[in-house]
Structure 1
């Protein structure tokens, strides 16, 4: 390994560990990762390999044989995944040797891993679905441009036959996004089959939606005086999640160009359902964002709104947003099990109690299925008593 690649690997390890620190991993985890990746760097320096040949299954297996295999595997895979998301290596370390899919299928998997910010586990799940779909096409001697909704239905039913109901729903959702990609992005389908492929309704609910009550919301925001850059950043994230109902992923992908201070508006371009929207920004949220920009955001050429608080000042991930919001919730003395999504649920609940229609709530939350919106909402007891019993409450 040449000196240039060795230095590049050292910097990559440093940036990766800084991101883990930013995401709130404990010191014991960071120390373990640092030791393993230091050993990995020394191991690689003895290899006659180029940069693109470092993160392979063969190299990983050789490194794991030197001891503590499971810890070594997790550390090196984590670093490889980080570099893949940073587009410094062509692909993460494969979990096992898998046949390469047609180029269009591989393009979609790359799109999922980089543009949609799916987890590696989800990308591998999508790959299995696409492998089965590719096999179905070859078995029936079909091309993508020739398939019909009947072919789509037949494949979906055959693939899902062995899965439980909840897994079937997830499989259909993954397949629907692929069909949307084929129609809207690659233009290889004649029709938008995704709109015709219905995800079945599952009426059972194992747990009620979790949201903050009025007194808990006041407790979250009362006596909050953020001072450090990380506190200013977290405070702005909390306001956006609570007053606008954005997902952590959507918050992490906001840019400076998405915010118009003169109009008090925010453009949310990357939504889970692919439906961009421009939303008004409440005054308190606008002030929280401005406070972060003035006193918390490091000077940087990146256009993303939220950046890491320590060098190299890269854009934050959705995991960082989740951790920052959860930390604020815990510091306020609220339930430890509360997550960033509780604020999104709270936003939806408040819209319901304000008399906003279910369809309007669906549009504001960015859902493509009104059943998904239903799962966010708790029964409005006061509204029910007012309508059914005619009580003034």
Structure 2
């Protein structure tokens, strides 16, 4: 079911959202989740009423998010909830479908697609893709599987060029970079499926070969003054502050990815030579970096005065039982200290750990 141009101009958010909420109830979404989504939709209705000349399109959604939420740093949960709500409204208005999100830890592929999808992911692992990349690919395959079931396609061999073109239209609310990556994964999946007998006809050439323009979205880069202000905002009088400070020093001082910092073990630190020897998780390459005095003392302060007792061989651990390795995400941490330091990130651009470590490269240019 598609919206034509007349339907786009005649879009009425109240009735659409009412139907959407009914659909979510039927799909057993919790009341708390529906309430969180509805808080965004209420704001959109107000925005829509205040701008009667608008059409319901991606640009309108982006302008609404920028107007209502873009000037607030917020935390990742809130930003995710806003994007999720508006993507869901867009999908429902265009396709009258809800592409349900599921926990990757508990969800499994359906029997109809399990052999093809699991075989494809195993193939990617054998090709050298990292665990994190394969986890992302799995999530995207779940979304594609949802689309297939919603359109009553229960076998890959029943795929048609029309079906694939319709699926590409559901990606309209994503950034160009995400669209390219989703279509590229689908192209590889179809090539694998053809070569391994899951489909009879080669469908991968149907998927358009798009390219991501260079510098399409450069990471937010903090100035030297902002980096210093953020570091100064960390309260190093408590254990968590000592841990956060050491992690931020490694990111800003050495440009390390958060996955490499979180994955750092004691045997990768040579205190006598003041040297870090780390195998990068993304590339698998060994890198050796100097352990400067500032970074070294920050780590020592954490180890001696902040780190809880733990048998974990990783330097940085959780500060609640069972005190094992940290989850590789520091977005909230950076956001917290940005707010404490009074630093406002550019509207619509990321301001997390990725941006923080890129500030080092910018300062070196």
Normalization by structure 1: what TM-score?
A: 0.48
Pick from 172, 184, 195 the counterpart of residue 137 of structure 1. 195
1:248 paired to 2:258:
yes
Partner of 1:328: 337
Q: Is the 8 A contact 2:227 2:252 kept in 1?
A: no
1:348 paired to 2:351:
no
Partner of 1:283: 293
SS of residue in 2 equivalent to 1:267: strand
Q: How many residues align?
A: 222
Residue 209 of structure 1, CA deviation: 3.8
Q: Deviations over 1:143-169 (max 9, x none)?
A: xxxxxxxxxxxx8xx736524624xx6
SS of residue in 2 equivalent to 1:277: strand
Pick from 270, 282, 290 the counterpart of residue 272 of structure 1. 282
1:222 paired to 2:267:
no
Residue 25 of structure 1, CA deviation: 6.6
Partner of 2:204: 159
Q: Is the 8 A contact 2:317 2:323 kept in 1?
A: yes
Residue 277 of structure 1, CA deviation: 0.8
Q: Which runs of 5+ in 1 are unaligned?
A: 1-22, 30-69, 82-91, 141-154, 170-201, 353-393
After superposition, the Cα gap between the structure-2 partners of 1:311 and 1:330, relative to the gap in structure 1 and judged at 3 Å, is same
Normalization by structure 2: what TM-score?
A: 0.51
**Two-structure CA RMSD over aligned residues (Å):** 3.8
SS of residue in 2 equivalent to 1:335: coil
Task: Tell me how far apart the structure 1 counterparts of residues 250 and 219 of structure 2 sit (CA, whole Å).
Answer: 20
After superposition, the Cα gap between the structure-2 partners of 1:266 and 1:160, relative to the gap in structure 1 and judged at 3 Å, is farther
Q: Which runs of 5+ in 2 are unaligned?
A: 1-74, 82-97, 142-184
Residue 295 of structure 1, CA deviation: 1.5
Aligned runs of 1:179-328 on 2, under 5 Å? 202-203=213-214, 205-222=215-232, 224-319=234-329, 321-328=330-337
Q: Is the 8 A contact 1:252 1:315 kept in 2?
A: yes
Q: Is the 8 A contact 1:112 1:123 kept in 2?
A: no
Partner of 1:356: none
Pick from 90, 94, 115 the counterpart of residue 108 of structure 2. 94
Residue 108 of structure 1, CA deviation: 4.9
Residue 221 of structure 1, CA deviation: 3.0
Task: Tell me how far apart the structure 1 counterparts of residues 117 and 76 of structure 2 sit (CA, whole Å).
Answer: 39
